[in-house]
């Protein structure tokens, strides 16, 4: 696996640049994301209850977050009265296309897929659509229509916003002294737009800050990823902030950092339950967390509306989703159950879905 840094114009500050950072501006941008969200993303009930027994298939990518999302999809499908099957899509074209073929054999009514490049599926997704399935994707950062996807919830705009927010967090925390590395996951569709937005925001609000990017193989999450990251940090001793496109890549990292005698501020998008526990224990610094339960149930809600002959709600089409930075003081809940700004999301959706 390559760990060569991807250079950018902001890799190192010029000696004649002023050492300044627009901390006031970035703190203002962060403010809405440092307190619990209050707006629930769906308010319109279904026109009529979804017929029972609809077949939902979840095409699951290979990251721990995708597995966690699968559990929420399963709960949501059960809540709306459907049947659920998970098909592992992996992270390669071979595994994705085999998964699409397996899904098609199930003759599903609806298919949900996460942040995986739809191009990996070849013509498999379009075949599912042509055979009558409604396809809803989560966090795919490209035009999904050529692939047969009916609706994409939380597309490129979310990845771009998250890249900016992560950069703002780094600048707010470190100011002009920020020396950041962004660990990317090229196999995930969210990675490229998040990286681009992160680097642009760092350059705009802290032109003297140091920024570099290092790719991590998604297949090494939970195995050798911590070793890769530690090796990189040992080669760049001035780095004071490690940022993650997906914080799942930091699973097991605190122990590796401790063993190597390294200390670095950490922040990333989409924490796992293990990441949340590490934040609670003071072993990781912070996470930018999307409300995975609510966002996943919202994707199932959109699929139900499509199956009923309607369109996703205006808020779903606009990509409204609860999101918040979580630090140690915010982990007042059981990390193993994940975070939701709306712990009563299940009865809220039950009411919207006209279920008993």
The CATH number of 23-36+158-290 is 3.40.50.2300
CB 265 within 8 A of CB 239: no
Averaged pLDDT, 141-160: 93
Per-residue pLDDT, 356: 80
pTM of the model: 0.87
Instruction: Enumerate the β-bridge partners of residue 325.
Output: 288
Position 188 confidence tier, pLDDT thresholds 50, 70, 90: confident
Mean pLDDT computed over every residue of the chain:
93
Residue-wise pLDDT for 4-23, tens only, equals 334 343 444 444 455 689 99
Per-residue pLDDT, 244: 98
Position 63 confidence tier, pLDDT thresholds 50, 70, 90: confident
Locate CATH 3.40.50.2300 in the chain. Answer: 23-36+158-290, 55-155+292-321
Per-residue pLDDT, 15: 42
The superfamily in CATH containing domain 55-155+292-321 is Response regulator (3.40.50.2300)
Averaged pLDDT, 305-312: 97
Per-residue pLDDT, 31: 97
278 to 36, 169, 220, 255, 336: CA distances (angstroms): 20, 19, 19, 10, 11
Task: Report d(CA 348, CA 353) in Å as an integer.
Answer: 9
Per-residue pLDDT, 116: 87
Averaged pLDDT, 18-32: 91
Averaged pLDDT, 235-262: 97
249 pLDDT higher than 50: yes
Averaged pLDDT, 316-329: 97
Residue-wise pLDDT for 270-286, tens only, equals 999 999 999 999 999 99
Position 65 confidence tier, pLDDT thresholds 50, 70, 90: confident
Per-residue pLDDT, 43: 96
Per-residue pLDDT, 64: 85
Per-residue pLDDT, 19: 67
Position 142 confidence tier, pLDDT thresholds 50, 70, 90: confident
2 pLDDT higher than 60: no
How does strand 286-290 pair with strand 323-327? antiparallel
CB 209 within 8 A of CB 21: yes
Task: Report d(CA 177, CA 146) in Å as an integer.
Answer: 44
Residue-wise pLDDT for 166-183, tens only, equals 999 999 999 999 999 999
Half-sphere exposure of 24 toward its Cβ, with a 13 Å CA cutoff? 1
CB 60 within 8 A of CB 89: yes
CB 304 within 8 A of CB 13: no
Averaged pLDDT, 128-139: 96
3 pLDDT higher than 70: no
More confident residue, 16 or 258: 258
Angle at 107 between CA 102 and CA 108, to 5 degrees: 95
Per-residue pLDDT, 141: 84
Per-residue pLDDT, 181: 98
CB 244 within 8 A of CB 215: no
């Amino acid at each position: 696996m390559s760990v060569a840094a991807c250079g950018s114009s902001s890799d190192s500050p010029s000696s004649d640049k002023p050492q300044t950072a627009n901390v006031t501006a970035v703190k203002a941008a962060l403010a809405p994301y440092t307190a619990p969200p209050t707006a629930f993303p769906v308010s319109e009930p279904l026109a009529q209850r979804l017929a029972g027994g609809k077949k939902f298939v979840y095409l699951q990518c290979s990251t721990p977050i995708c597995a966690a999302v699968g559990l929420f999809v399963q709960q949501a499908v059960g809540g709306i009265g459907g049947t659920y099957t998970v098909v592992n899509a992996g992270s390669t074209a071979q595994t994705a296309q085999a998964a699409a073929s397996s899904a098609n054999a199930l003759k599903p009514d609806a298919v949900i897929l996460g942040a995986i490049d739809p191009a990996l599926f070849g013509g498999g997704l379009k075949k599912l659509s042509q055979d009558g399935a409604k396809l809803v994707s989560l966090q795919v950062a490209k035009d999904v229509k050529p692939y047969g996807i009916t609706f994409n919830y939380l597309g490129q705009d979310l990845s771009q916003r998250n890249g900016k927010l992560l950069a703002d967090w780094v600048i707010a925390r470190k100011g002009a002294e920020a020396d950041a590395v962004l660990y990317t996951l090229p196999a995930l569709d969210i990675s490229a737009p998040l990286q681009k937005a992160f680097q642009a925001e760092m350059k705009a609000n802290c032109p003297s800050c140091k920024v570099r990017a290092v790719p991590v193989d998604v297949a090494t999450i939970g195995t050798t990823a911590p070793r890769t990251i530690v090796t990189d940090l040992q080669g760049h001793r001035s780095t004071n902030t490690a940022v993650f496109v997906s914080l799942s890549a930091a699973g097991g990292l605190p122990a590796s950092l401790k063993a190597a005698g390294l200390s670095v501020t950490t922040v990333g998008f989409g924490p796992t339950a293990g990441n949340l526990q590490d934040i609670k224990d003071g072993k990781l610094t912070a996470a930018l967390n999307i409300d995975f339960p609510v966002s996943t149930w919202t994707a199932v809600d959109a699929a139900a509306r499509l199956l009923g002959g309607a369109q996703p709600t205006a808020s779903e089409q606009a990509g409204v989703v609860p999101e918040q930075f979580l630090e140690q003081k915010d982990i007042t809940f059981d990390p193993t159950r994940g975070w939701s700004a709306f712990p009563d999301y299940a009865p809220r959706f039950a009411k919207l879905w006209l279920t008993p």
